[in-house]
Amino acid sequence: MAAALAAEEKLFARIAEDLLANSWSVLPACLPTALSTALQQQLHSMGTIDFSPAGIGRGTDHAVVAQVRRDEILWIEGATAAEREWLDWSGRLQSYLNRRLFLGLFSFESHFAHYGPGAFYRKHLDAFKAQSNLDAAGGDGTNRVVSLVAYFNSQWQPEDGGELVLYAADGNMEVGRVTPALGTLVVFLSEDIPHEVLPAQRDRFSIAGWYRINQTRHGRTDPPR
Ligand code: OGA
Ligand code: MN
């Protein structure tokens, strides 16, 4: 138990140091094994019937969305023991990052994502700096500050594609390429690191999550839940 806590503290410290130094962190096979296998098992047993095509911002045309991303998603609400364990773990990382980096992270949202053969997600940012200004004026930003991605694919081969590519803030220089293998974690600053998912050649499962700051003001609740 004490050893597990020490291992967790070490992992969280590594993430915080990487974020400080580079704005991103890639840690292969780092999610606790019991947690990754429980989530992988859930993904295998539930199938993708309840997943819905992912969107890009409110009210974007379906044809436009399909140019940008082809994954399907299911929000994680804590319906199973594995989901609750995931929410507990990501909550502890949130507290750690707040303690170490004073980020003021307020809430966390996450979803399972399934990329079928041929699915991709074009280069994008998870949040926009300008949006913080818009928010102050009453816009509808996402408040996302830190992005977290975890992978649940065993025996992923180079020919399976589906890598996550991370870019420097200018959006041109590739700084990292991630194989979506079981237990691999990726953490980055949502406003600073453009990234894309290359076309997958077989079913690819991940969780994408975001820590958000609280921008509730003038009686307007933001984030909404
Ligand atoms: C996202 C995203 C990456 C992945 O959902 O915003 O960038 O590898 N996902 O699933
Ligand atoms: Mn993203």
pLDDT digits (tens, 9 = 90+) for 171-223: 999 999 999 999 999 999 999 999 999 999 999 999 999 999 987 655 556 66
- Verify whether ligand 1 is closer than 6 Å to residue 121 (CB atom): yes
- Verify whether ligand 1 is closer than 6 Å to residue 19 (CB atom): no
140 against 59, higher pLDDT? 59
Q: Nearest C-alpha to atom 5 of ligand 1 is from which residue?
A: 208
pLDDT at 64: 81
Q: How far apart are CA 126 and CA 104, in angstroms?
A: 18
Q: What is the CATH number of the domain that holds 152?
A: 2.60.120.620
Mean pLDDT of 88-106: 97
Residue 133 Cα, ligand 2 centroid: separation in angstroms? 21
- Verify whether ligand 1 is closer than 6 Å to residue 206 (CB atom): yes
Which of ligand 1's atoms lies nearest the C-alpha of 206?
Answer: 10
CA of 185, nearest ligand number: 1
pLDDT at 139: 38
- Verify whether ligand 1 is closer than 6 Å to residue 150 (CB atom): no
Query: Which residues have CB under 8 Å from 53's CB, separation 6+?
Result: 62, 65, 72
Q: Which of 31-35, 84-88, 105-109, 131-135 has the lowest mean pLDDT?
A: 131-135
Tell me which residue of 187, 201, 86, 205 sits closest to 146, measured CA to CA.
187
* pLDDT over 50 (residue 116): yes
Q: Which of 29-33, 95-99, 106-110, 220-224 has the lowest mean pLDDT?
A: 220-224
CA of 208, nearest ligand number: 1
- Verify whether ligand 1 is closer than 6 Å to residue 109 (CB atom): no
198 against 5, higher pLDDT? 198
* pLDDT over 90 (residue 135): no
Mean pLDDT of 92-96: 98
* pLDDT over 70 (residue 69): yes
pLDDT at 5: 87
Number of domains in the chain: 1
Q: Is the dihedral of CA 153, 120, 158, 21 positive or negative?
A: negative
- Verify whether ligand 1 is closer than 6 Å to residue 126 (CB atom): yes
pLDDT at 112: 98
Which of ligand 1's atoms lies nearest the C-alpha of 162?
Answer: 8
Q: How many CB atoms lie within 10 A of CB 151?
A: 26
Range of the domain at 22: 2-56+65-221
Q: How far apart are CA 74 and CA 179, in angstroms?
A: 22
**What percent of the chain lies above the pLDDT cut of 70?**
90
CA of 189, nearest ligand number: 2
pLDDT 10s digits, 137-169: 433 467 999 999 999 999 999 999 999 999 999
Residue 80 Cα, ligand 1 centroid: separation in angstroms? 22
